[in-house]
Amino acid sequence: MVTATLRYLVPTDEKPIYHASAGGADAQMRIGAEFDDCDMEIADARQLSPAPTLDSYGFERRNHTTAVSDFYQLAGQQSLYEQELRDLVLAAVGGRDAIVFDHTLRSDSPDIREQRNTREAASVIHNDYTDASAERRLRELVDTAEADLYLQHRYAIINVWRAIKAPAYHSPMALSDARTLSPYDLVASERRAAERIGELELVIFNPEHRWYFFPALARNEVLLIKTFDSATDGRARRCVHTAFNNPQAPEDAPPRESIESRLLVFF
C-alpha cells in the first residue's frame, strides 16, 4: 500500500478540452480544466485473491514474453507484435477477432522523450473512450457495412500496457476498481490531436473509488485495461486510470519507458 497524489477533475459547466501532446522533451498534456490533487491509498494488486480480471475490476495482469527486441524500432516487427497482441487479448476475453489500431510510446524522462520523440506519462485520471467515441472509433476503422454488422454484437476496446526496458518503478499505472465507479463520476471531454478529434472521460472525486497498482511491472508482464465494453450485463465496462508518482520507487531506479497498444475486439 502506498499513499500518492492523484489528479481529479474539478467539475464545471464547461466541457473540458484535452489537447494531446506531440512527442519530445517538452511533451505535456494541455487540458482546459482545473484539477484537485487528492492523496489516495493505492493498494498492491499483486496481493489480491482472486486476481483481478477485465470483467471484474476492469483490468488484469498477464505474463507475456514478446519476440520484439526493440520497441523503438517497432516498424520492422509490427506485424509480429500485433499478432502476439491479438493472440493474447482474444485468449483473455474470448473474442472472435481483434484489430490493433494504435501504439504509443511514453516516458517520464525529458531526456528520453527528446531522444526517442515519445510522449509523457498521462498523469490525470481518465478513461480513453466514451460510449459515443468508442462507436465513432469503430466506424473509423472499418467500412460502413462491416461497422453496421459489428454494432449488432458486443465489442470492446482493450489497452495493452507494458514496460519496454527496466521494470516500471517510476510513474506506474494506478487503476481503479470498476465496481467502485459511478457513471456520475465521468465527464465527457473533447480530445484534440493533430490527426483527429475524439472524446475521452475525465473523472471527478468519489471517496468510494478503490485504487490499485502492480509494483515493478517488468518487460515480460502486461497490463490489460478495459477502456470500453458495449456489454451492459453487469461486467466492468471501463477502468479509469492514471500514472502516478510512486513514493516507493528506489531513488536510483531508471525512468519509466513504456508502450501501450489499443485493440478493438469483436465478440
Can you give the residue ranges of every domain in the chain? 2-266
For the chain, the residue count is: 267
Q: State pLDDT tens for residues 103-149.
A: 999 999 999 999 999 999 999 999 999 999 999 999 999 999 899 99
In the three-class reduction of DSSP (H, G, I as helix; E, B as strand; rest coil), residue 146 is classed as helix
**Strand 186-192, strand 59-63: pairing:** unpaired
Q: Which pLDDT belongs to residue 196? A: 78
pLDDT in tens, 87-99: 999 999 999 999 9
Specify whether the CB–CB gap between 168 and 258 falls below 8 A. yes
Report pLDDT for 17.
84
For the sheet containing 211-213, what is the strand order?
2-9, 35-44, 211-213, 173-176, 241-243, 126-127, 197-203, 186-192, 17-19, 30-31
d(CA 136, CA 130): 10
Q: What is the pTM of this model?
A: 0.95
Give the confidence band of 263 by pLDDT, cuts at 50, 70, 90: very high
Can you tell me the distance from the alpha carbon of 222 to that of 205, in angstroms, rounded to the nearest whole number? 28
User: What integer best gives the mean pLDDT of the chain?
Assistant: 94
